Structure 1
Amino acid sequence: MRKRKLSLLFVFFLGGVAGLQAQEKNVVVQSKRNSDKSVELTYEKNDPGHVLLALNFKELSNARTTKQVFALKGYAGAVTTLLPINREQSITYSYNYRYVRGKLNPKIDAEDIYILPYTSGTQVYVAEARFLKATYFGNTAPNDWKSYGMATDEQQAVVASRKGTVVEVTDIYDDEESDGTSFTSKQNGVIIEHKDGTLAHYKGLAKGSVKVKVGDEVNPGTMLALNTKRGDSNRYGITFVVMYLKSDDLYMNAGKTMGTSQSLYGFVTPQFFVDGEPAVLKDRTTYTAKSNDDVIAREMSKKELKRYQKGK
């Protein structure tokens, strides 16, 4: 495959999951007064993945709270319970909250292996994506920044690179015709949370082609969607990035601009199974996507492994 210059399709904008309240009303916190004058705070959310919640009490009397950041997982559950200091009086309170997707500082195994997110035999041109805030807003790219553009000559199926749970699906934006546009944040995508809490983003999917829904468990090779054209490129492609939540200071960017804000997230440089072994992808290089039984089965439970082997 002849190497050609990629469009700015592969400039990755750190928005979406990295922004507060990434998915509108993804988390709703409610409170209830109990007969013993305690106040119970609970949550409901739209997906089973990890979310970090920061509570800000604008008013709080007759109660104390030492913890204001809470890790949530699952569709619903308890946040915290406020106990009255004086049990004869009610608690007075008001609050607001912020949240971001992710498990705070997960334990990441450097030996985890990914497959290229295309079906076996697909020729994939890989280029490292630039950090949009640095390119356009004068910000500084994170020290561990790593994001890839992965392009194909023809439209191809995009598959999961690693086992995980689908925690977010965006499938609302029309595919764009080539009009010279260098970048748009309006891209369809899928976010998959892995067992260790890292998050894989697949952005640049064709509208109506997404085959998974929130809550689905996927394995390496599970079809997610089709890729699509963007901007002035003649190719089809996606951006692929793996990230994790590294800061619990959800208010640190309050009042900051695109040029001065900092990332709440860290970034992973994955090892991909290419050319018969795990390796870090090289910039502006063509690879052949290939499935591998050992990689596919690596994170499977015994029950899943038996089912997979039986189905082969």
Structure 2
Amino acid sequence: MKNKLKLSLCCLLAFATYIETKAQELPITIRGRTNTDRSIEFTAIKTGPGTYTLVLNFKDVTNATAGREVVTVTGYSKSAYVLEPINKDQGVDFSYGYSYIRGKLKVKHDPEFVYLLPYKNGTKVKTVESSFAKATYFGSTTPEDWKAYRFYTKTEDTITAVRKGTIVEVIDLYETDDKKGIAFTNKLNSIMIEHADGTILRYQGLKKGSIVVKVGDVVFPGTSLGVNSKTHADSPPNVSLLFMYLKSADIEASRNVNLQNSKSLYGFITAKFCTTANPSMYVVPNQEYTVAVTPEIVQKEMTKKELKTLVKN
């Protein structure tokens, strides 16, 4: 019996207003094959590092049982699902679609985890909290747990990693818009890092051409990433940090809403930082802090091999 394959694809990335600039290669593709026992095996092929949540939606299924299946994809190739025929003497008929979103569901985040501030040891920074741009400029609803940090310096300075993680995305396309009076732009260079616990951190607002890391690199607290930049002509140099985790894979429902009633599929983290004033604190908007880089934070998530390498160097 011939399988009916009807494929639909939706790629949703957190705040991916820059999606038109990305390469044409899709992060996730699905391959299906029929096994000798008439089962149908679906394999997810991932083209880059980092975790994705894949949603398979099966319809019109005969001689098998399947519906909405949610799968975590970490490696570059993963057997995502197998349709087993109820009657082994007959094939399986079905149609299906799939969608995916960056991140891992059911992340176990430690709210007491302490991060570095995103600059070199001893740097003085001023912090502010950024509003939810989609609410401020487009009438969307601000998520209940929204939190975004922006760290200013008086002159351009090196941005550093605040925690160990893997670089999963780099955008280095945009020059600083030097027009006066610019309040909002989505054309910002950024780096996205995935941490061991599945949380994701976006560093946004780096100077074009300054980024010194690439996708796939593992970075440690204090590792140089690039240089901050002015968000627009009226601002001092700065970088913004957005700590996120995937809290919902309801991708299908999110397609059918407008900006006014949309809900984020991501949760946001209120982070604790290490400063010279306090080794574990919540920063206060419009206050100045001095960066403190401690061995405890730098080495906290290192493997034994990484620690040995650190000692040798």
Q: Is the 8 A contact 1:192 1:200 kept in 2?
A: yes
Which residue number in structure 2 is paired with residue 306 of structure 1?
308
Which of 10, 14, 19 is matched with 1:17 structurally?
14
Q: Is the 8 A contact 1:229 1:235 kept in 2?
A: yes
Q: Is the 8 A contact 1:46 1:75 kept in 2?
A: yes
Separation in 2 of the partners of 1:163 and 1:58?
42
Q: In structure 2, what residue type is equivalent to 1:163?
A: K
* Residues 80-129 of structure 1: CA deviation (Å, up to 9, x unaligned): 11111222222223322111111112111122110011112222111000
Separation in 1 of the partners of 2:59 and 2:134?
32
* 1:1-312 matches, cutoff 5 A: 16-18=13-15, 25-65=26-66, 67-274=68-275, 275-311=277-313
- What is the root-mean-square deviation of aligned Cα atoms in Å? 2.1
Percent identity for Structure 1 against Structure 2 = 40
Q: Is the 8 A contact 1:55 1:68 kept in 2?
A: yes
Return the offset for 1:62.
2.2
Q: Give the ranges of 4+ consecutive aligned residues of structure 1 lying more than 4 Å apart after TM superposition.
A: 18-24
Aligned residues: 297
Higher relative contact order (CA 8 A, sep 6+): 1
Separation in 1 of the partners of 2:203 and 2:18?
19
Q: Is the 8 A contact 1:20 1:250 kept in 2?
A: no
Return the offset for 1:21.
12
Structure 1: give runs of 5+ residues left out of the alignment: 1-14
Return the offset for 1:243.
0.8
> Secondary structure in 2 aligned to 1:277?
coil
The more displaced of 248-257 and 237-246 is 248-257
Q: Is the 8 A contact 1:133 1:259 kept in 2?
A: no
Structure-2 change in CA distance of 1:209 and 1:71 (3 Å): same
Return the offset for 1:67.
4.9
Structure-2 change in CA distance of 1:210 and 1:46 (3 Å): farther
Return the offset for 1:16.
4.5
Q: Is the 8 A contact 2:18 2:186 kept in 1?
A: no
> Secondary structure in 2 aligned to 1:135?
helix
Return the offset for 1:140.
2.8
Q: In structure 1, what residue type is equivalent to 2:301?
A: E
Q: Is the 8 A contact 1:206 1:225 kept in 2?
A: yes
Structure-2 change in CA distance of 1:172 and 1:21 (3 Å): closer
Separation in 1 of the partners of 2:252 and 2:240?
28
Separation in 1 of the partners of 2:244 and 2:127?
18
> Secondary structure in 1 aligned to 2:252?
coil
Separation in 1 of the partners of 2:39 and 2:186?
44
Which residue number in structure 2 is paired with residue 8 of structure 1?
none
> Secondary structure in 2 aligned to 1:305?
helix
Q: In structure 1, what residue type is equivalent to 2:285?
A: D
The more displaced of 170-179 and 278-287 is 170-179
Structure-2 change in CA distance of 1:16 and 1:207 (3 Å): farther
Which residue number in structure 1 is paired with residue 3 of structure 2?
none
> Secondary structure in 2 aligned to 1:68?
strand
Q: In structure 2, what residue type is equivalent to 1:136?
A: Y
Return the offset for 1:158.
0.8
Which residue number in structure 2 is paired with residue 5 of structure 1?
none
Separation in 2 of the partners of 1:46 and 1:177?
36
Which residue number in structure 2 is paired with residue 10 of structure 1?
none
Structure-2 change in CA distance of 1:52 and 1:38 (3 Å): same
Return the offset for 1:66.
5.0
Return the offset for 1:299.
1.3
The more displaced of 228-237 and 189-198 is 228-237
* Residues 31-84 of structure 1: CA deviation (Å, up to 9, x unaligned): 112222111111112322111111122443222125511111122211111111
Return the offset for 1:164.
0.9
Separation in 2 of the partners of 1:181 and 1:20?
18
Separation in 2 of the partners of 1:30 and 1:21?
28
Q: In structure 1, what residue type is equivalent to 2:308?
A: K
> Secondary structure in 2 aligned to 1:167?
strand
